[in-house]
């Protein structure tokens, strides 16, 4: 499993940030965290904006629990934004949304782990201990590994052609699969429309396909199985 660089001893976490807009679930999480990390300071935020405000006030968490469905977040952009603000602090995502592609995308963007919201309290405590020990964790049904290296890989990387795309081209592929036109892709990525067209021309050539529909089919096949959670697929492509 992937190791997070961390010199602190096992189960040592002194500050935890919970980002979730359900008060009862937040309280349940806090109780579990206090059991695993006695005496740690816990801060709660009900939105991404509130979480960023907590950080701006000087709170430095060494573990973050993050819910994907927040009132001021679209897709996994909120996770990506928070990830960029936290340095090396691990983020454990706990969400009611789950699919192979969504979970692997979160890992690809730097998540330390993923748990469904219906996970038992005992399992949650075990996973918190693993994260504190520098491990990553996802349920086995969402755990995709390279058979040769044993390393976790993004679902799209199961196809060598998709793996050869640049990070910018991979973002464009995701938006293509969401049905976004070139103009919208350019807006969301802050690129000139001509640049987007050039990227698409290059990635079509590299993927050896002729149109956007064939790109979407290729991505679907890369996941290894049909996505059985349409809500998660829509959320990821938002």
Between CA 56 and CA 62, with CA 59 as vertex, the angle to 5 degrees is 125
Q: Which residues of 158-185 are buried (b: 16+ CB within 10 A; e: fewer)?
A: bbeebeebeeebbbbbbbbbbebebeeb
Packed helices 23-36 and 121-132: angle between N→C axes, nearest 10 degrees: 60
What was the pLDDT predicted at 146?
41
Q: Which pLDDT band holds residue 73 (cuts at 50, 70, 90)?
A: confident
What was the pLDDT predicted at 221?
65
Residues 76/106, Cβ–Cβ less than 8 Å: yes
What was the pLDDT predicted at 11?
52
Instruction: State percent of the chain over pLDDT 70.
Output: 80
What was the pLDDT predicted at 193?
93
Compute the distance between CA of residue 191 and CA of residue 110 in angstroms, rounded to an integer. Answer: 24
Q: How far is CA 234 from CA 179, 220, 230, in A?
A: 11, 13, 6
Average confidence score pLDDT of the chain: 82
The structure's pTM equals 0.64
Packed helices 182-189 and 167-177: angle between N→C axes, nearest 10 degrees: 130
- Residue 63 predicted with pLDDT over 90: yes
Give the model confidence (pLDDT) of 131-163 as tens digits.
Answer: 998 899 998 877 755 433 344 444 444 466 777
| Residue 116 φ then ψ, to 5° | -70, 155
Q: Which pLDDT band holds residue 6 (cuts at 50, 70, 90)?
A: very low
- Residue 107 predicted with pLDDT over 50: yes
Packed helices 212-222 and 167-177: angle between N→C axes, nearest 10 degrees: 100
Q: Which residue has the tokens 């697929």?
A: 233
Compute the distance between CA of residue 114 and CA of residue 92 in angstroms, rounded to an integer. Answer: 6
Taken in order of first residue, the domains within the chain and their CATH numbers are: 15-142 (3.40.50.2300), 155-236 (1.10.10.10)
Compute the distance between CA of residue 10 and CA of residue 195 in angstroms, rounded to an integer. Answer: 48
* Short-list 63, 71, 147, CA closest to 113: 63
144 vs 179 pLDDT, higher one: 179
């Amino acid at each position: 499993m992937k190791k997070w660089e961390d010199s602190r001893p096992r189960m040592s976490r002194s500050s935890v940030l919970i980002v979730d807009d359900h008060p009862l679930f937040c309280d349940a999480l806090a109780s579990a965290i206090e059991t695993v990390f006695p005496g740690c300071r816990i801060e709660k935020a009900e939105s991404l904006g509130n979480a960023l405000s907590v950080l701006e006030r000087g709170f430095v968490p060494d573990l973050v629990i993050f819910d994907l469905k927040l009132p001021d977040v679209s897709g996994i952009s909120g996770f990506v934004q928070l990830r960029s603000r936290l340095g090396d602090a691990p983020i454990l995502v706990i969400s009611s949304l789950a699919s192979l592609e969504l979970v692997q995308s979160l890992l690809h963007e730097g998540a330390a782990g993923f748990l469904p919201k219906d996970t038992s309290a005992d399992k949650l405590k075990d996973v918190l201990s693993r994260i504190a020990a520098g491990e990553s964790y996802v349920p086995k049904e969402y755990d995709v590994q390279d058979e040769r290296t044993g390393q976790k890989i993004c679902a799209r990387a199961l196809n060598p052609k998709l793996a050869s795309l640049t990070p910018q081209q991979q973002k464009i592929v995701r938006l293509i699969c969401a049905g976004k036109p070139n103009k919208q892709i350019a807006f969301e990525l802050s690129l000139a429309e001509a640049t987007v067209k050039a990227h698409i021309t290059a990635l079509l050539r590299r993927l050896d396909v002729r149109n956007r529909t064939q790109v979407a089919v290729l991505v679907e096949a890369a996941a290894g199985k049909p996505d059985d959670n349409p809500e998660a697929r829509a959320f990821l492509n938002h």
